[in-house]
Amino acid sequence: MGTRISSPGRYGSSESGGPSGSTGGEDEGEQTQLPSGRSQAEQAAEEVCEEEADDTAVSEQEGEQVAERREQIRETLDESLDIEEQHIFGSLTRGTLVGPIDENSDTDVMYVLDRDEHGTWLTDENGPRNCLQNIKHHLENDPRYDAADISIDRNVVAVQFDEFTVEVAPAFRQGNDYLIPDTYSGGRSWVRTNPRQYKQQFEAVDSNRNGNVSKLARLAKAYNERTGKQVSSYHMEVMAYDYARTRPQTNESLDELVDGFFEQLPRRLSSGTHDPATGQQIDDGMSREKREAAISDAKQAKEKLQRAERLKQAGKTEKAKRLYRQVIDGELDD
C-alpha cells in the first residue's frame, strides 16, 4: 500500500457526509443487529481495521528478499569474525513489520561473537564503539555494498540498500541473555537484550488473541510512520503488545483493540516503556521534543476515535469508517 496521499475527495472534509454532503442508507442512523451480536456500524469498523492490517502485511516474496540480503551479510562477516550464532529477530519474525517494504523499512539480525576471540571488546573502554566500527569497516570493504549506505545507529550497524535496511547487531552471550553495544552512552557500555524471549512472549499473547496483537502493532506502527515517526517502531510495538497483554478479554475485535490502545496512547507515551524480556527502559533516548509531538498527535487520534465510537453507536457507518481510516493514515487534522 505505501504511504497514502491525503485527498479531500477520498474522505470528505467533515462528518456531515461525503464530498456531495449527502449520505447513503448506512448513515441514516439505523442500528441493524447482526448474528455476531454487533451492529452493522461496529462490524463495518472492524472490517476497515482488518483491511488496513492486511494491507500492511509483508508479502512472502519480500520476506525472501530480506533473507537473501541477511545471508549475504553473514558471508561477509564470516570472513573476518568468529560468529557462534545468528539470530533473525525483529518485527519481520513477529509479523509486525509494516509493508510493503521500502527504503524506510528495516529488519534485524544478531550475530553472536565468540568471547574467546573478540572478548576484549567487552572490557576495553571504547569496546562497544570499536566493535561496531569494526563491523562497519568490514562491510564497507566488500564491493557488494558499494551502493549501500552503511552507518552506526545506537546498537547496530545499519546497511541501507535501495529496497530496505538490514540492521546488524553484534552480541555476546551472557547467561540466558545477550549483550549488545550502546552508543547512546558514549560508546562505552553494553546493554542486555533477549529477543528470543520477547518473541516467545509476543507470539503467545498474539495466538491467544486470534492474531490481533500483530495486526494492532502493524496499525500502530503505520500510524506512527505516517505522523512523522516520532516514536521508534519497537517502542510503538511494545506499547501495543503491552496494552493487548493486559486486556482481560481475549476475544475482542480488532477495532475494539484499536479504540482502547489509542485511548491509552497519550498516557503510555508520557510514562516510560520497558522491554518485556529484560525490563530495561526502551524510550530513554527519546527527546523531549519528539515525546511532546507524539503525545500531541496521540491526543488528536484519541479524540478522533472517540468521535468514531459515538458514530458507531449512532449507526453512522460510513462516517465512522472514514475516521478509522484517517487515524491509521495519520490524517489527524479535520
Residue ranges of the chain that CATH labels 1.10.1410.40: 30-57+198-328
Domain range 30-57+198-328, its CATH number among 3.10.110.10, 1.10.1410.40, 3.40.50.970, 1.10.260.40: 1.10.1410.40
Is residue 6 pLDDT above 80, yes or no?
A: no
Is residue 157 pLDDT above 60, yes or no?
A: yes
Distances (CA, A) of 280 to 60, 192, 298, 320: 33, 8, 24, 38
Could you report the per-residue pLDDT of 92-102, keeping only the tens digit for each?
889 999 988 88
Most confident among 72-76, 253-257, 330-334 (mean pLDDT)? 253-257
Q: What is the pLDDT of residue 230?
A: 92
Q: What is the pLDDT of residue 162?
A: 87
Is residue 20 pLDDT above 80, yes or no?
A: no
Distances (CA, A) of 196 to 93, 232, 244: 10, 20, 20
CB 155 within 8 A of CB 191: yes
Is residue 12 pLDDT above 50, yes or no?
A: no
Q: Among 140, 127, 202, which residue's Cα sits nearest to residue 171?
A: 127
Pairwise CA distance, residues 320 & 323, whole Å: 5
Q: What percent of the chain has pLDDT over 90?
A: 59
Pairing of strands 106-113, 165-174: parallel
Find the mean pLDDT for residues 143-160.
91
Q: What is the pLDDT of residue 331?
A: 95
CATH 3.30.460.10 fits 60-193, yes or no: yes
Grid-cell match 547487531, residue found? 169
Find the mean pLDDT for residues 21-38.
53
* Confidence band for 86, pLDDT divided at 50, 70 and 90: confident
Is residue 13 pLDDT above 50, yes or no?
A: no
Q: Is 138 exposed, middle or buried (0-12, 13-18, 19+ CB in 10 A)?
A: middle
Find the mean pLDDT for residues 14-42.
54
Q: What is the pLDDT of residue 37?
A: 72
Find the mean pLDDT for residues 155-159.
91
Q: What is the pLDDT of residue 241?
A: 97
Residue ranges of the chain that CATH labels 3.30.460.10: 60-193
More confident residue, 285 or 221: 221
Q: Among 112, 334, 276, which residue's Cα sits nearest to residue 323?
A: 334
- Mean pLDDT (the chain, rounded): 86
* Confidence band for 107, pLDDT divided at 50, 70 and 90: confident
Is residue 105 pLDDT above 60, yes or no?
A: yes
Find the mean pLDDT for residues 55-76.
89
Pairwise CA distance, residues 51 & 45, whole Å: 10
Q: Among 108, 281, 129, which residue's Cα sits nearest to residue 195?
A: 108
Find the mean pLDDT for residues 198-209.
94
**pTM > 0.75:** yes
CB 190 within 8 A of CB 180: yes
Find the mean pLDDT for residues 242-254.
94
**Residue 133 CA to its chain's centroid (Å):** 27
* Confidence band for 34, pLDDT divided at 50, 70 and 90: low
Q: What is the pLDDT of residue 185?
A: 57
Find the mean pLDDT for residues 299-309.
97
* Confidence band for 10, pLDDT divided at 50, 70 and 90: very low
Could you report the per-residue pLDDT of 162-203, keeping only the tens digit for each?
888 899 999 999 988 899 998 665 556 888 888 888 999 999
